[in-house]
Amino acid sequence: MVSRGELYRACQAAMEQADIPDAAFDTMCIFQDCLGDRNPLFSPLEAVPEETEGLIRSMTERRISGEPLQYILGEWEFYGYPFRVGAGVLIPRPDTETLVDAVIRICRSNGITAPRIADLCSGSGCIAVTLKKELPLADVTAVELSEEALPYLRQNIALNGADVHLIEGDVLAEDTAEKLSGLDIVVSNPPYLTAEEMADLQTEVAREPAMALYGGEDGLGFYRELTPLWKRSLKAGGWLCYEFGMGQHEEVGKILAGNGFENISFTRDLGGVIRTVSAVRP
C-alpha cells in the first residue's frame, strides 16, 4: 500500500509535469477532500486505503485533463459559505465578493434593514444566498434561466438554509421583470466576456458554461438590455449594482447614465481592478 506522502508527491509531480499552475495546492485540496483530513500530511507515513488511492488518482487525472478543481471537488467556498458546483454552473469567483460587499455597504449606510433584492443571472446562487445570510431580514429573489444551473441553485439555497425565492426565467424578458416591482436593489454579475475573449479562454474557464460567460460581441449586451428593463422594477431611490470585466467600467457607467441613473460609483476588487458599479434610480 502507498503512503500519504508518497502518493502526494506522485500526484503533485504528475500535475507539475502537465503544467497545472497550482499543483501543490490542487493536490492538497484533493487529499483533504478524499481523506477527510484538514492536514493530511501531518501523518505522511500513514497508508492510504486502496479505494481512496483510486479516487485520488482519478481526481488527479481529471485535473490534468483540464477540468477545474472546483468541479472535481464538487463544492467551493464563497464569502465563507459552501456552494455546490459542477459542469453547467459558473464557479464563484473571489472578485464577486466585492459585489456582495457593495450591496451590503449600501444597505448598512442607508439604514435599509429589510431590503427587497433581486439577483439576476444567479447561477450557483452565490450572490443571492450570501446576501440573504448576511442580511437576514432581506427579501431576496434569484432569477435564473439555465436548466443546468437551476439544480445547483436550489441545492445551494437548501445547503445554506437561506430563504431565497426563485424565479426560473429569462432576465432579458419583459414578463420576468414584470414579476418584481418596488425593489430596493437589483444586483447582477451577468455574462460579460467579449467574442475575442471567448475565442481565447483559459482551459479551465472553457469548461464553464458559455451561457454564463458570453456577453455579446463587445461583452456589454446584458448591461444594455438589463438597465432599461429592470429600472422599472426598482423603486425611486433604488440601486442597480453590477459586476463587469476589466476595462468595462467606462462603458457600463455610460449605459447607466444614459438610462438616467445617478450617483454612479465604482469599487475595485482585491486585485485592484475596477470591478463593480452601483447607481441610483432617481
User: Does the protein bind ligand GLN through residue 93 (CB under 6 A)?
Assistant: yes
d(C-alpha 261, C-alpha 238), whole Å: 10
Nearer to ligand GLN, 2 or 213 (CB): 213
Stretch that binds ligand GLN, among 13-21, 135-143, 187-195, 234-242 (CB under 6 A): 187-195
Nearer to ligand GLN, 14 or 213 (CB): 213
224-230 CB contacts, 8 Å cutoff, 24+ apart: 224/255, 225/172, 226/120, 226/171, 226/172, 226/186, 226/188, 226/190, 227/255, 227/256, 227/259, 227/261, 228/259, 229/172, 229/174, 229/177, 230/118, 230/120, 230/171, 230/177, 230/186
Cβ-count burial of 15 within 10 angstroms (0-12 exposed, 13-18 middle, 19+ buried)?
buried
Which of 98, 130, 156, 189 is the binder for ligand GLN (CB under 6 A)? 189
Nearer to ligand GLN, 125 or 190 (CB): 190
Nearer to ligand GLN, 150 or 193 (CB): 193
Closest approach, Cβ 213 to ligand GLN, in A, equals 5
Closest approach, Cβ 195 to ligand GLN, in A, equals 13
Contact string 36-75 vs ligand GLN (x = CB under 6 A) = ----------------------------------------
Cβ-count burial of 21 within 10 angstroms (0-12 exposed, 13-18 middle, 19+ buried)?
exposed
Contact string 215-254 vs ligand GLN (x = CB under 6 A) = ----------------------------------------
Q: Are strands 165-168 and 234-243 parallel, antiparallel or unpaired?
A: unpaired
Q: Of 65, 66, 95, 64, whose CA–CA distance to 78 is shortest?
A: 95
Nearer to ligand GLN, 191 or 253 (CB): 191
Element (DSSP H or E) covering residue 81: strand 81-84
User: Does the protein bind ligand GLN through residue 213 (CB under 6 A)?
Assistant: yes
User: Does the protein bind ligand GLN through residue 191 (CB under 6 A)?
Assistant: yes
Give yes or no for a contact between 74 and 85, defined as CB atoms under 8 angstroms apart: yes
Find cell 419583459 and name the residue. 174
Stretch that binds ligand GLN, among 108-116, 128-136, 188-196, 225-233 (CB under 6 A): 188-196
Which of 172, 205, 264, 273 is the binder for ligand GLN (CB under 6 A)? 205
d(C-alpha 249, C-alpha 259), whole Å: 15
Nearer to ligand GLN, 40 or 191 (CB): 191
Nearer to ligand GLN, 1 or 210 (CB): 210
Which of 79, 192, 223, 239 is the binder for ligand GLN (CB under 6 A)? 192
Edge-first strand order for the sheet with 116-120 is 165-168, 139-144, 116-120, 183-188, 234-243, 274-280, 262-268
Site for ligand GLN in 148-177 (CB under 6 A): none
d(C-alpha 212, C-alpha 195), whole Å: 13
User: Does the protein bind ligand GLN through residue 193 (CB under 6 A)?
Assistant: yes
Which residues lie near ligand GLN (CB under 6 A)? 93, 189-193, 205, 213
